[in-house]
Amino acid sequence: MAQLYFRYGAMGCGKTMQLLQVAFNYEERGQKVCVIKPATDTKNGDKLLTRIGPERETNFTFTKHDNIFNKIKHEYRDVACVLCDESQFMTPKQADQLMKVVTKLDIPVMCYGLRLNFRQQDGGFEGATRLLQIAHKVEELKTICDCGRKATMNTRWLNGKLVVDGPDVLIDGTSNIEYRSICPKCFYKYLERDVKAPARKAKQQLIDSTKKGKK
């Protein structure tokens, strides 16, 4: 019986590389696969691109308004497997549509993506949250922090400083934005340095300026 898989990990853990390896394994045996990703991920256009070089064109990308089940049912019914990259960007409804691909079309679906975004408080992606709830099998893909510990936190950096708010989607390589996966210990170290300490300093400056204004 076909199943829905969710393979997640922090940035840099090799999710896309594993997806391409699975696609290769199927095709080496003469079987067709359908490789997809959300159109929200605009960095590489319609391609899947890995950090170490290998790349591949998707069969199709989808917006938040597309019905993935209908697309696969009518155009990719003959595939042996559906592989979805950057699956955190899909909607909860689309995660349910992939479950329908599994249960109604009997096609295995393997989703790869992030579990958490970069924000300190609201850390989840809707698509990933739904996949964690409904997937038959959930697997963590591991990577390491610069310090050598296991990296579990996805972080956004602006001009070399940690930021913990802003929109979910902001492509790196623009406006001095970059992303790193780090361990919790390093996260709280940078949080104190770049977020909490400057906030306390700004608050104290405001208090001091208010006191001066009353004299």
The answer to whether 48 and 56 are in contact (CB under 8 A) is: yes
Exposure of 42 in the CB half-sphere (CA atoms within 13 A)? 8
The answer to whether 19 and 85 are in contact (CB under 8 A) is: yes
Distance CA 47, CA 37 (A): 9
Query: Of 145, 153, 158, which is closest to residue 119 (Cα–Cα)?
Result: 153
Annotated catalytic, 178? Answer: no
Distance CA 185, CA 211 (A): 37
Q: Which of 55, 86, 178, 192 is catalytic?
A: 86
Strand partners, 142: none
Query: Of 93, 47, 40, 45, which is closest to residue 70 (Cα–Cα)?
Result: 93
Cα separations in angstroms, 75 against 40, 95, 121, 157? 22, 19, 40, 41
- Active site (catalytic) residues: 86
